[in-house]
Amino acid sequence: MCKVLDKINTPKDLKVLSRNELIQLCGEIRQQMIWRLSATGGHVGSNLAIIEATVALHYVFNSPVDKIIFDVSHQCYTHKLLTGRKAAYTDPAKFSSVSGFTNPAESEHDIFSIGHTSTAISLACGMAKGRDVKGECHNVIALVGDGALSGGEAFEGLNNAAALGSNIILIINDNDMSIAENHGGLYQNLRLLRETDGRADCNFFRALGFDYSFVRDGNDFNEIVAALEKVKDTDHPVVIHMCTVKGKGYRFAETDKENWHYMGPFDIDTGNPRQGVVPAETYEALTAAYLTDKMRIDPAVTAITAGTPKVLGFEEELRNQFPKQFVDVGIAEGHAVAMISGIAKAGGKPVFGVSSSFLQRTYDQLSSDLALNHSPAVILVFFAGIGGGSQTHMGVFDISLAANIPGIVYLAPTCKEEYFSMLEWGLNQTEHPVIIRVPGATTVSRDAVLLSEYSYPAKYEIVEHGTTVAILALGKFFKLGESVRQKLLAEHGINATLINPRYASVVDKTMLGALPEYGHRLIVTLEDGVIDGGFGEKVTRFYGASSVKVLNFGAKKEFVNHVAAEEQYGRYHLTENQIISDILELL
């Protein structure tokens, strides 16, 4: 059935095809991709939009001599299929042989490991500069979505790419969508350009100095090939502004673009998710319910997202209910943190929800804009902890990066009751920047001792009184601490003390100081994050000059790509039996 696709193994195979065969190939890839995505899930919308452009890129240019860099790279499936990895999209046994992002370990056609947005233009600038100083001669191309243009790094890249003075080709893939809808002044200019076929005088890209051309239908193979051939081997920076349809060719994805940005396995005919088990309760939904209750009675309460409203539980309907108090700043996490500092200074009560992996895009804003100004804003960190996903989106670095900034109260609740108790305090206090680490993906309930305030000095919670060993089990790992304690008691007769530290950023000196007096000789810290620079090391330092011994458990400082969480636990000595064995060795 897949007549043309069968012949394609490398980009070179494209060069001998007729135009009709190439167009047929795009159709075949689309059907193949829908079938594959229906089985595995993935980034549906962006990949269906970019099939023609990707085939055209590999037809016109000469990868890997010419360098093609995909921003975010969640739209790289066709690129992978064309560059020696076809089986990953045709053979179910090989589905997991590739990741969803570009990765140099997979192919010489993948220049960088990329997963965060807005980086490709800067990386391409570097590739072009490296080429120029070495006196080489090839094309450097970056493919960037319209949604990524709101990110500061993309603008820094554009500003510098425009002044590069040599070959760099930026393809702006404008499907008029970010993950959700776009936000910001730039997007009315993109709309104006779309509506005028790129002819409007006021042109963001020309203002920056780019040679600009417009592709009305980026899903028309001939049109995109013509545009690429025109700029191939250019001696100056160019922008091709290309319009595509997100979800192109699959009606459900075309209609409901936001929900089909990323989708798990689905039924092709109905578009219904295959794995229909939706958790009864999620932190996202609970958070949205909590915040909207507050927003209804207090206009000062504002919820902020940087392009990922669903992380905070704000589905479209909810966003429409709170047009003033819910703010999506687009993919611009740094701005979001500075903005909540401003809102808090003005007497508002801002809550910014962000994934752990993207919190790292805000270090300077956390420090300079927020913490230095003691702004009482709240940041909720979702998807933190060891996971089985891509090395580009790990959730283990947030404590190390944010909890060492002066003045930030970094809280790690163990359960939903404690999470909302901390959020309630954070929202109503007026002195501290507060970060709360949402405890995992599935909700946990526990009879935690709740406080009316979580300011400094820190007060840890002693959950079980024991002796000899004290287990400090932070946040989501509290459950692990509970199991270790039970097993130590049941199997080894050791009655350990169990402590919920509540805070990731500081130690409770009073409690830690008292533990040795009550017969504790070994302190164990458990945290769902990298140990380096994390919570446990603070505890170890506290006891550095004493004879108390401390064992820190957590993740190793390394990038991990698609390794199941359970396997990582084993590697890091984070299973109950490993922890117990390490404890016994020291007693």
Q: Which of residues 286-345 bind a copy of itself (CB under 8 A)?
A: 299-300, 302, 324-325, 327, 329-330, 332, 334-335, 338-345
Q: Applying CB under 8 A, which of residues 139, 219, 287, 367 lies at the interface with a copy of itself? A: 367
Give the separation between CA 561 and CA 563, rounded to whole angstroms.
Answer: 6
Please answer whether residues 378 and 414 qualify as being in contact, where contact means their C-beta atoms are separated by less than 8 angstroms: no
Task: Using the minimum distance from each CB to a copy of itself, give the nearer residue, 225 or 231.
Answer: 231
- Residue 208 interacts with a copy of itself (CB under 8 A): yes or no: yes
Q: Is residue 84 part of the contact set for a copy of itself (CB under 8 A)?
A: no
Select 63 or 122, whichever has its Cβ closest to a copy of itself: 122
Cβ closest to a copy of itself, residue 83 vs residue 362: 362
Is residue 89 at the binding interface for a copy of itself, with CB under 8 A as the rule? no
Q: How far is the CB of 526 from a copy of itself (least distance, A)?
A: 14
Please choose, from the candidates 121, 338, 306, 328, the residue with its C-alpha nearest in 3D space to the C-alpha of residue 208.
121
Residues in 235-264 at the binding interface with a copy of itself, rule: CB under 8 A: 237
- Residue 493 binding a copy of itself, by CB under 8 A: no
Size of the site for a copy of itself (CB under 8 A): 121
CB of 539 within 8 A of CB of 550?
A: yes
Q: What is the phi/psi pair of residue 450, to 5°?
A: -95, 145
Task: Return the residue of 251, 277, 280, 544 that touches a copy of itself, per CB under 8 A.
Answer: 544
- Check residue 129 for interaction with a copy of itself (CB under 8 A): yes
Residue 9 Cβ vs a copy of itself, minimum distance, rounded to whole Å: 25
Q: H/E element holding 328?
A: strand 326-328
- Footprint of a copy of itself on residues 387-426 (CB under 8 A)? 391-392, 397, 400-401, 403-407
**Is 473 an interacting residue with respect to a copy of itself (CB under 8 A)?**
no
CA 303 to chain CA mean position, Å: 19
State yes or no: residue 178 binds a copy of itself (CB under 8 A).
no
What's the count of helices (H) and strands (E) in the chain, helices before strands?
24, 16
Is 461 a binding residue for a copy of itself by CB under 8 A? The answer is no
- Distance CA(263)–CA(255), nearest Å, equals 14
- Residues 100, 74: contact at Cβ < 8 Å? yes
Q: Where are the strands (E) in 184-317, listed by range?
A: 211-215, 237-243, 301-305
Q: What is the DSSP letter of 238?
A: E
For residues 149 and 71, the answer to whether their CB atoms sit within 8 Å is: no
Residues 6+ apart with CB under 8 A from 222: 19, 23
- 457 neighbors 473 (Cβ within 8 angstroms): no
Judged by CB under 8 A, the residue of 88, 161, 227, 463 near a copy of itself is 161
Rank residues 13 and 132 by Cβ distance to a copy of itself and give the closer one. Answer: 132
Q: How far is the CB of 449 from a copy of itself (least distance, A)?
A: 27
Which neighbouring-strand residues pair with 248?
none
In angstroms, give the least distance from the CB of 452 to a copy of itself.
25
Is residue 206 near a copy of itself by the rule CB under 8 A?
yes
Nearest to 64 by CA among 158, 144, 126, 127: 127
Give 363 or 460: the residue with its C-beta nearer to a copy of itself.
Answer: 363
- Identity of the residue, 125 or 463, whose beta carbon is nearer to a copy of itself in the bound complex: 125
Calpha distance 107→83 (Å, rounded)? 8
Determine the interface stretch with a copy of itself among 42-50, 148-156, 451-459, 474-482 (rule: CB under 8 A). 148-156
Q: How far is the CB of 200 from a copy of itself (least distance, A)?
A: 9
Listed ranges 45-53, 284-292, 370-378, 409-417: which one lies at the site for a copy of itself (CB under 8 A): 370-378
DSSP codes of every residue in 28-75: HHHHHHHHHHHHH-B-HHHHHHTHHHHHHHHHHS-TTTSEEEESS-TT
Query: Shortest Cβ distance from residue 257 to a copy of itself (Å)?
Result: 20
**352 lies in the site for a copy of itself, by CB under 8 A:** no
Distance CA 573, CA 580 (A): 10
